[in-house]
Amino acid sequence: MEIKSTRCIASERLCDTGFSYTLSLISGKYKMTILYTLTEFGVVRYNELQRYIKGISYKTLSLSLKELERDGLIVRKEYPQIPPKVEYSLSERGKSLMPILDGMCEWGAKNRL
């Protein structure tokens, strides 16, 4: 007779899971909104992002973009001109995350109380 092992959530190290890693990439008030904005509009400049995302401060947008770029979810392209021109778009890695975020949105729409 084979004994089935049971896992106890208390003994798991959630910080080492794929779930925790994914959550660390998208956590924050505006990161998912930024990703969806780039999905919708493709290539977007900084000021356009600020207009599309109502209520986001300069500092919060700047920090979120730096983190998303560091994590490989977006691409920042800077053009050598004056005034400086910078554009943001989803990386291939960022695009691969969007079906998961879409699934979360669908679940939320179906299960909203």
64-105: pLDDT as tens digits:
999 999 999 999 999 988 888 999 999 999 999 999 989 988
Q: Where does 1-113 have alpha helices with state H?
A: 18-26, 31-41, 46-52, 58-70, 92-111
Region 12-21 average pLDDT: 75
Is residue 31 scored above 90 in pLDDT?
A: yes
Local confidence band at 3 (pLDDT 50, 70, 90 cut-offs): low
Amino acid at position 51, single letter: R
Burial (CB count within 10 angstroms: exposed 0-12, middle 13-18, buried 19+), residue 6: exposed
The pTM of the whole model exceeds 0.85: no
Tokens of 63: 């920090």
Give the containing element (helix H, strand E) for 44.
Answer: strand 44-45
- Domain over 30-111 is classified CATH 1.10.10.10: yes
Region 49-58 average pLDDT: 93
- What ranges do the domains of the chain cover? 30-111
**φ, ψ of residue 68 in degrees (nearest 5):** -65, -35
**φ, ψ of residue 89 in degrees (nearest 5):** -150, 165
Give the containing element (helix H, strand E) for 33.
Answer: helix 31-41
Say which residues have a Cβ less than 8 Å from residue 29's Cβ, sequence separation at least 6.
Answer: 60
Lowest-confidence pick of 18-27, 40-49, 61-70: 18-27
Q: In terms of pLDDT, which residue wins out, 83 or 51?
A: 51
